[in-house]
Structure 1
């Protein structure tokens, strides 16, 4: 008789919960491999799986937006081999908040159940699971990148026939010039024209962040992250280039950050006090030198500093630093700018520490080498403090055993998955 998968997972968690944990910790153990406690959870090391879009869930029918076992073979596999935290990709808090029709959501029971199966597996491997709650705003209702590439585009619109919602693409401001690539109705364009949100629609989004957070808690998630970067809805509100509103959600800095602050307050109110809350932010949108940036202002590193100072009192535990993706004419995009994320994160961490602000800082972007990862987290008397966690995406897609490789290269002896012990470099273990 086949054994129940839940029993297998339970047995696995009893036998093996420590992959990626040093077998001993002394003064020579790099901070990268030291545990980090945030509220009631403890990361077994400082290496996390960055939310990486897979665009692989059903776009219609009863399983729309429901996460599949693919997530076990991707991010779950990284946890099996030692990553401390797996953050699930941008998950729509409402149907028109998804990037593509093939992105996950968290607005109904079926999606909650699908998420729980992923969470249960990650827990069975001794890891932590997070979910990045998101609304794509004017970058929604697009095709998965692979489809766009087949059409010879970097982005392609998703029509109603393709599961999209071209008439319900939202942004802080609307109109032809607010299509993300600026091409409006041009057939060569890759984005729909957004309509400016009403205040009621803004409040619905805030409410749906809270409802999705409640579902995540019921599914057993350990950590939540609010996505405020990469040109999605919250990021669109932050930058005056993309936010031309004249009501209480536009204009001044205080008005432009209002949506994010309201979402944070709403989420924090419905999740346990013991649950960590992260926010991902663009340190800069790289729009300062654009014509629009010179005319309307921009979102800069100084803006990010100002915003982060407001977050500890709202119950945010960690800010994950990234950049780009909010404007087609920006100096750099998400992928071009990723070499700068880490330097910006270190500057922010140092400034905040000097101010006595204890909020944690994470970063992401082309982290591929062992020494690089170590140095990002390691505090240094001359350079200053390191970041608290690193998030790794593309490198995990290439090397699912990256945590074990990094440990080996740094000379840190860590626990391996029991099933792989005989592959450990050195004398063959008899298992």
Structure 2
């Protein structure tokens, strides 16, 4: 009998997962008509991971307005016309026993194709491909909160099991809660967590009471002068109080690394997840080079995180979860009946 931590069921509010394996959101840059609607590529991409045994699939960064996309080839939920295309994928994923959420976001100053990106402050992201953003007015910030809520409502209408807000990797919510990128003098500058808190509260109001809300956060910044884990923990406390049920803990993305460098080894971000979990007594998702099944098993078994997100490993192998179950000699294998003879 093998290990069973990674392949054990997990429940958070009304979300019931058959295992602890999460497909991390990864942009596909594959919207052909630039209309924000997922197409056949996205359908095959996500449904195949459901067939492959993944417990929870988080669809890639999906933006609340056209100019909030990283590129014009990214997904969006700024119109009710987007709902049917998402619903088709969600229904397909459910058919094969997985649960699915959508990561809702706005790229802010990292919107490469926007004619004029917007941000908390007029500070460009380093690099020649990035434009000088325009600082949002206070009224526009409030309107942006509403856009997040509207996108969440559409995701719920499309049938999602959960929603993740993207507050990491230098995108708009991250830009508001970072001292490096928020130099505002209004209420959204005086309290760096305020924008995130208002977005969380507005989105939470659109969710059924038993649907958990995930929040992805960069636990540390790597640019010189960037915040550390203590600042992230304070943000998480405010966000938890506003309604976040679980944190998906990553790092960086706000600019080129300075004196502090990100790790380049398996599990380098796990201590950040553990720190937030212990400080807040909150469920966390660990991510970052965790595709070795034994390592992923240890993250759950050691109590570092409730869930393990796999990114590049699931890009390489849609059936990563099935193969992990065999590698760990788990009793929970979830092999589709049509493929069973390949595993004997």
Shorter-chain TM band: over 0.9
Quick check: 1:375 aligned with 2:298?
A: yes
The question of whether the paired residues in 2 share the 8 Å contact of 1:325 and 1:334 is answered with: no
- Render the CA deviation track for 1:199-241: whole Å, top value 9, x for unaligned: 1111111000100000001100110000000000111111111
- The CA deviation at 1:29 is 4.5
1:276 is displaced (CA, Å) by 1.0
Offset at residue 338 of structure 1 (A): 7.7
Gaps of 5+ in 1: 1-25, 143-163, 184-188, 380-384, 427-431
1:310-349 to structure 2, matched below 5 A, reads 310-331=238-259, 339-349=267-277
**Aligned to 1:165, which of 111, 114, 125?**
114
- Using a 3 Å threshold, how does the CA distance of structure 1 residues 271 and 105 change in structure 2: closer, same or farther? same
Equivalent position SS for 1:319: strand
Compute the RMSD of aligned alpha carbons.
1.9
Q: Which residue of 2 aligns with 1:365?
A: 288
TM-score (norm 1): 0.76
Contact 2:46/2:89 (<8 A) preserved: no
TM-score, with length taken from structure 2 = 0.95
Pair 1:116–1:39, CA change in 2 (3 A): same
Give the corresponding residue for 1:8: none
Aligned to 1:249, the other structure's residue is in SS state helix
Deviates more, 1:305-314 or 1:31-40: 305-314
Query: Residue 313 of structure 2 aligns with which residue?
Result: 395
Which blocks of at least 5 consecutive residues in structure 2 are unaligned?
none
Name the CA shift for 1:363/1:331 in 2 (closer, same or farther; >3 Å): farther
1:209 aligns with 2:183: no
Q: Of the candidates 14, 25, 46, which is equivalent to residue 51 of structure 1?
A: 25
- Aligned length in residues: 343
Question: Max radius of gyration: which structure?
Answer: 1
Residue 335 of structure 2: aligned partner:
416
Q: Which has the higher contact order (CA 8 A, sep 6+)?
A: 2
| Alignment match, 1:282 | 218
Distance 2:181 2:306 in 1: 31
| Partner in structure 1 of residue 97 of structure 2 | 126
1:200 is matched with: 139
- After the TM superposition, which residues 121-270 of structure 1 pair with which residues of structure 2 at under 5 Å, given as runs? 121-140=92-111, 142=112, 164-167=113-116, 169-174=117-122, 178-181=123-126, 189-251=128-190, 255-270=191-206
Provide Cα deviations, 1:310-367, integer angstroms capped at 9, x if missing partner.
3333221100000111023545677859852122212332x33xxxx43211121111
